[in-house]
Amino acid sequence: MAVFYVIMIAFFLSACNDGLSVDPEVLPEGEVVLESVVSEDATFRVVRVIDDLQHPWGVAWLPDGRMLLTERPGRMSLVENQSMTELDGLPEIRASGQGGLLDVAVHPDYADNGWIYFTYSAPVDGNTGTSLARARLGNGELTDLEILYTEEPGKSPGRHYGSRIVFPGDGTVLFTIGDRGQRSPSQDLNDPAGSTLRLNEDGSIPNDNPFAGRNDVLPEIYSYGHRNAQGMVVHPETGVIWQHEHGPRGGDELNIIRPGENYGWPDATYGVEYGSRRSIGIEPHEDPDIVNPLTEWSPSIAPSGMTIYHGDRFPGWSGDVFVGALAHRHIRRVVVEGQEVVRQEELLRDELGRIRDLRTGPDGNIYVLTDHSGGGLYRLEPVE
């Protein structure tokens, strides 16, 4: 495996990779694969940092600049200097279909507590469920493993696991579970599938969750009516939770997540059935009790991964939302004013492949993971 990475001297403020800027001259090494790409508000080059990855899913940085990277077959690796070390100590992972080792996030107070959080598909009563766990980093291994939550009941088929992790800064952690391909659990408040879940950082239930104290609803549910949310970030300035999710044939959505709200699936969607193209329920705007998305994508772009750019390397992109697209294989730049989408731009269509994840790095550049059996980590950096 070819790895072209030099340790970055930076310190992170949060697990969303919202870090301090570093000297632009202190950058990871890599191989330039596209010399100059001209977009509406920036000109940039594309640098391959790591290649030969097996369906990579998530990436996060430690405060000292070392990088954690997950691959769906069930590998978490630590990248340091020019070496990549697979870490032992992961729990049992059922890697099949769309399942496996999924997202990874570093606790905002990692320097004090050492916690790394990750999601994965776990075996549950002969089926699978999305799990959230945390562990600390030892010498080539994960230690102090704690499984904080596992989706129950387990389900088949092996798809629509979610699953992104964010820390809103109030002592809680949010993560997503998809509808697992079964649709109806998304409207069942006694089933965690198709929901955004909110836990205290130790896995307990916050007393101020929207359904806490009720006996007829799972108290960990924060929002529901989601199909398969694979992008979620905390806005670096407002603290608002932004999330996107896959629709069926069309109807991918970009949403603001609010506690206790219903986002419609499968009762309301802008998407249609795959084969017949018949409507699935009503459209979200037709019901005032259902949250209408900020924007929807029809035909589907199959969104995965998201970052709201806030670095100093691309001033023309400040505050823009960047979404990875598995379908049509591109990066979708969404220009917003407040919470209103004003325009969009496609970047790198068919240049890198299926985009699985996007992060703002501690150096102010944008990092991109591609979802292939020979996937890679790429960096977008400005051309002066």
Which residues are known to be catalytic?
160
Residues 133, 117: Cα–Cα separation, whole Å? 6
Residue 259 buriedness (CB in 10 A; 0-12 / 13-18 / 19+):
middle
CB contact burial 174-189 (16+ within 10 A = b; e otherwise): bbbbbbbbbbebbbbb
Which of 153, 189, 185, 157 lies closest to 265, judged by CA? 185
Which of 380, 382, 332 lies closest to 355, judged by CA? 332
